[in-house]
C-alpha cells in the first residue's frame, strides 16, 4: 500500500521514488537498518551494527531481560553519579523501559533521581499512560 501510488496519473512531473523514499513519505519518518538487509535505493554503511550473541548463553524471557537492563542502568548511573533520563516516545518499547525503570528503582527513587523526556507526539501515542504519569 502506497498512498502516493496514484500520483503518477495526476502529476506530469512525477518521478518514481526509491523504496526508502516511499517509506519515509508514507510513514512521515526515517528508518534505520542495522542489519544491511533493506534496499534504500542508495548505498549506505551501518555504523552501529546489531551485536551478535556470541557463544551459547542463558536466555532470559523479556520480563527478566528488561528488569535486568533497568537494574544495570540504575546501578551504572548511581556508580557514575549521573542522572537518569528516560526518553518516552509513547510506544510499547519505551513504555516497557519506563515501567521497568520505575519498578526497579521504586517510585520515590525514580522521582528523585530520574527524568522523563517526551514530546507532544508521545502524549498522542499513548494518552492514557501520560495521564497515569502526571
Tell me the mean pLDDT in the region 108-134.
92
Residue 105 sits in the same domain as residue 68: yes
Which of 22 and 127 is assigned the larger pLDDT? 127
Please state the domain count of the chain: 2
| pLDDT at residue 61, as a whole number | 83
The answer for 36, left when phi > 0, alpha when psi is -120 to 50, beta otherwise, is left
pLDDT digits (tens, 9 = 90+) for 76-101: 999 999 999 999 999 999 999 999 99
| pLDDT at residue 106, as a whole number | 94
Residue 76 sits in the same domain as residue 109: yes
Give yes or no for a contact between 85 and 114, defined as CB atoms under 8 angstroms apart: yes
| The Cα angle at residue 45 between residues 39 and 51, in degrees rounded to 5 | 100
pLDDT digits (tens, 9 = 90+) for 44-62: 788 888 777 665 456 678 8
Distance CA 67, CA 105 (A): 10
**Does 87 fall in a domain?**
yes
Domain boundaries, position 18 = 1-51
Residue 35 sits in the same domain as residue 82: no
Residues 6+ apart with CB under 8 A from 50: 34, 35
Amino acid at each position: 500500500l502506497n498512498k502516493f501510488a496514484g500520483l503518477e496519473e495526476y502529476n506530469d512531473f512525477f518521478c518514481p521514488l526509491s523504496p526508502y523514499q516511499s517509506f519515509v513519505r508514507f510513514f512521515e519518518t526515517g528508518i534505520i537498518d542495522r542489519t544491511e538487509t533493506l534496499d534504500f535505493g542508495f548505498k549506505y554503511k551501518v555504523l552501529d551494527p546489531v551485536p551478535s550473541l556470541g557463544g551459547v548463553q542463558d536466555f532470559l524471557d523479556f520480563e527478566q531481560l528488561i528488569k535486568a537492563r533497568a537494574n544495570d542502568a540504575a546501578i551504572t548511573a548511581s556508580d557514575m553519579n549521573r542522572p537518569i533520563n528516560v526518553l518516552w516516545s509513547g510506544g510499547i518499547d519505551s513504555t516497557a523501559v519506563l515501567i521497568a525503570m520505575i519498578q526497579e528503582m521504586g517510585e520515590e527513587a525514580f522521582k528523585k533521581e530520574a527524568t522523563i523526556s517526551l514530546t507532544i507526539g508521545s502524549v498522542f501515542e499513548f494518552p492514557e499512560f501520560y495521564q497515569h504519569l502526571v
